[in-house]
Structure 1
Amino acid sequence: MQRLPDFDGLRFILCLGIATFHYSFRMSIDNEFITSVILRFSYFTDIFFIVSGLFLARRAYGTWDKRQYFAFQAKRLARIYPLHVAAFSCFALISIAYAYGFIHPNAQPDTSWRNAITQLFLLHSWGLGSTFSYNYVSWSLSALFLMYLCFPLFDVLSKRFDVGILAALIIALIGGEFLTRMLGGPSLTRAQFTNFGILRVLPSFLFGMWLVRHQNIVLPKSLTYLGLTICLIIFLFYSPADVDGHTVVLEGPARLIFLYVFTFLLYNASTQGFYTPLQWSGFANLSRYSFGIFILHPLVGLFFFNAIPPFWENSVAGSLFIIAAGVTVTVFIAAISWKIFENPINSWLVAKINKWQSNGVIPALKKQPQANKIQ
């Protein structure tokens, strides 16, 4: 499978942006333009879901059988579950310490056992728990976990019915928006507030798959660069009108269509070898820490911002400096986690899974030369 360096860099930028977005709520930034740009970092979560579907769909799986299905799911869990459990355990310990009066944090942590169980097993975005309990970013892992469980079905149907995945995408967009509104949510891109984060993830995950399976749509370099430039301008400067005068961002299908166009253009550039700044080798090297940044930044921020003196945020520059420092510390912690915990455990688990998956095939290969000798 050909590497896509633009998307390696994109994953790292996405996770930095999501951490910055969440950290900005801990600081006071008295600058409307900067605030509006940071609020648009919320778009990065939806791009993350597109990229997840895209990367899975780029791999060749052959014929799905029971052994391959369980091996696929095991490898997906080996990638996300150990670090998820580690981060969740820290939040659970904080909740237990609070419940027994050992600590007195500024914000009351969740102490619900039901929410703890659903989050531990990544079920809380399926309507079975609170999406913002304990480690609040794990709602997206829960929704992606369901996408992993369904991916073999999506894969088979998309190969058998050429336009089926496009039809499913359209249904997911329209139906997801309708269901989210029925559940009391403001839009599809805030479906996690209704505890059904799966509604937000499904359309973007399907679009990522569709993008890979329909590579026959090719644009020339000039048109691709023009489109990406327009997308960047819209991202930096466009805010929908709001009658109350508040800073707002694109929501619902309008946001997703905009992001789908951007991702299509970037994928077109990447597969044709057009240069973008995301191909910088530094991004590629740092992209291995992306998942750690994403899943650990709420925990790092909890301790980091509680240790910062309040007077440091008296200016816009001071607030931005503190946010940047918090993100830098998060990258450092994620790098340590990847080297001593995340990568070693994932490598060990994947080796075990590969051995189990090949069980029954390797012995047969070994017996063949012996049979030839007897003959």
Structure 2
Amino acid sequence: MGPGSERAPRSALLDLLRFAAAGLIVLYHYRFDSPIKLDLFSPLFDRGYLATDFFLILSGYVLGRAYGRQIALGKVSDEQFLLRRVMRVWPAHVVMLVAFAAVIGAAEMAGRAPHNAAQVQWRDWPAQLALIQAWGLHRGEGWNVPTWTLSALIVCYAGFPTLWRRTLGDWPAASLLVIGVSVLAGADLVSEALYGQGVFDLPSNLGVMRALPLFVFGALVARASEAGWPLRRWAPWQAIAAFAGFCVLQATGKFDLPSMALLGVLIGAAGEVPARGRSGLADRAAKVSFALYITHVFVATLWFNFIHAVDARFNPPAWEQWSLWGMAFPAALIAAVVFERWADRPLQAGVAALLRPRPGRYPALAPNGSGRRH
């Protein structure tokens, strides 16, 4: 497999970055319900979508590191790979969406429409359940908003094995990175031509077009890692430089394409930072990240409806409003920890048992080719 064949696909730093990105996405979505819109303080609060793009790049990278060798050696078929990936996200998604429907349905029966009623239209629910809301088939968006990325990633998963096999060979790492950035730039130009806006600004119902180039970029970063980039001794410094450059760009203005390029470098470099022993905290944070991603909007629906009711009845002073708003973040984290432990983990155990290869119905043939059925 080349110089990177013995590199570890897991990184404690990458796990912590994943958790930090999930936290930024929570802030990005909760900013709408703050007592004063956070965008008024700084335009940075309006760029939380970059954390979602980080996840999309990370998805391509992690799958390349975790599954690339198996796919290259033919140890897992394209169908098996797609089934595993879909079953990793769909069961938990269904649980959350059913919980959403139960809460919204109960509220409507009680005559209390949620304050974000425009985001929970019943006509959009079936597409979300099937995870096809990002395929450009309809304009509706809402309910568990972040799951548009899961919808788009299903398409990415379907194409990943072919992409990985096509990039096998003695590609220089620099060439792979340049190709990856070129894919992002090309997608941005196509999006501007077709929709009059950059690919990173596309609405969620066009999520496949937004996610696919980012996912491909992440996979190519993983291929560059397999080709020997970056050297372990330089990885921490490259990660620091990429993160610093990203922060400088955000403080300067809206520069999405170079920001994505730096996120790819950050992910590739962080993936090679050696861990000093096993980090239980980082591993736990990575597991909770997915739960936080798919539960925080549900928590927001409950919490902020409560806050709006309190505001309407008691008109509390500003400091109490900010306190109530701030409590949504620990509430979201607690809900994510509970969901990961008591919902997602048991669901995945059941999926693993369901997908586990079963012994053959009939005994193996004897060396001479004979064998009797029982």
Q: TM-score, normalised by structure 1?
A: 0.79
- The unaligned stretches of length 5 or more in structure 2 are 1-7
Q: Who is 1:245 aligned against? A: none
1:120-140 Cα offsets, whole Å, 9 max, x none, are 111111101336222111111
Give the whole-Å Cα distance in 1 for the aligned partners of 2:243 and 2:357. Answer: 46
Give the whole-Å Cα distance in 1 for the aligned partners of 2:240 and 2:178. Answer: 29
Give the whole-Å Cα distance in 2 for the aligned partners of 1:239 and 1:32. Answer: 14
Give the whole-Å Cα distance in 1 for the aligned partners of 2:186 and 2:194. Answer: 12
> Cα offset for 1:56?
0.9
Over the matched positions of the two proteins, sequence identity in percent amounts to: 22
In the superposition, relative to structure 1, how do residues 219 and 63 fare at CA in structure 2: closer, same or farther (>3 Å)?
closer
Matching of residue 15 in structure 1 with residue 22 in structure 2: yes
- The unaligned stretches of length 5 or more in structure 1 are 242-247
Contact 1:8 1:287 in 2 (8 A): yes
Q: Who is 2:95 aligned against? A: 86
> Cα offset for 1:306?
2.2
> Cα offset for 1:255?
2.5
Q: 1:56 corresponds to which letter in structure 2?
A: L
- Out of 338, 341, 345, the position equivalent to 1:339 is 341
In the superposition, relative to structure 1, how do residues 35 and 116 fare at CA in structure 2: closer, same or farther (>3 Å)?
same
Matching of residue 300 in structure 1 with residue 299 in structure 2: yes
> Cα offset for 1:322?
4.4
* Backbone CA RMSD of aligned residues: 3.8
Give the whole-Å Cα distance in 2 for the aligned partners of 1:229 and 1:363. Answer: 57
Matching of residue 120 in structure 1 with residue 129 in structure 2: yes
Q: Who is 1:206 aligned against? A: 216
Q: Who is 2:356 aligned against? A: 354
Q: Who is 1:54 aligned against? A: 61
Contact 1:46 1:204 in 2 (8 A): yes
Contact 1:83 1:342 in 2 (8 A): yes
> Cα offset for 1:166?
6.0
How many residues matched?
354
Q: TM-score, normalised by structure 2?
A: 0.79
Find the residue that maps to 1:49 and give its secondary structure: helix
Find the residue that maps to 2:10 and give its secondary structure: coil
Find the residue that maps to 2:270 and give its secondary structure: helix
> Cα offset for 1:265?
2.9
Q: 2:152 corresponds to which letter in structure 1?
A: A
In the superposition, relative to structure 1, how do residues 30 and 179 fare at CA in structure 2: closer, same or farther (>3 Å)?
closer
Give the whole-Å Cα distance in 2 for the aligned partners of 1:100 and 1:44. Answer: 37
Give the whole-Å Cα distance in 1 for the aligned partners of 2:139 and 2:75. Answer: 32
- Out of 238, 256, 262, the position equivalent to 1:258 is 262
Q: Which moved more, 1:139-148 or 1:203-212?
A: 203-212
Give the whole-Å Cα distance in 1 for the aligned partners of 2:91 and 2:151. Answer: 14
Q: Who is 2:180 aligned against? A: 169
Alignment of 1:225-374 (within 5 A): 225-236=236-247, 238-239=249-250, 249-251=254-256, 253-268=257-272, 270=273, 273=274, 281-308=280-307, 309-310=310-311, 314-315=318-319, 319=322, 321-356=323-358, 359-360=359-360
Q: Which moved more, 1:171-180 or 1:14-23?
A: 171-180
1:29-64 Cα offsets, whole Å, 9 max, x none, are 577896445444432111111111111111232468
> Cα offset for 1:84?
0.8
Q: Which moved more, 1:290-299 or 1:103-112?
A: 103-112
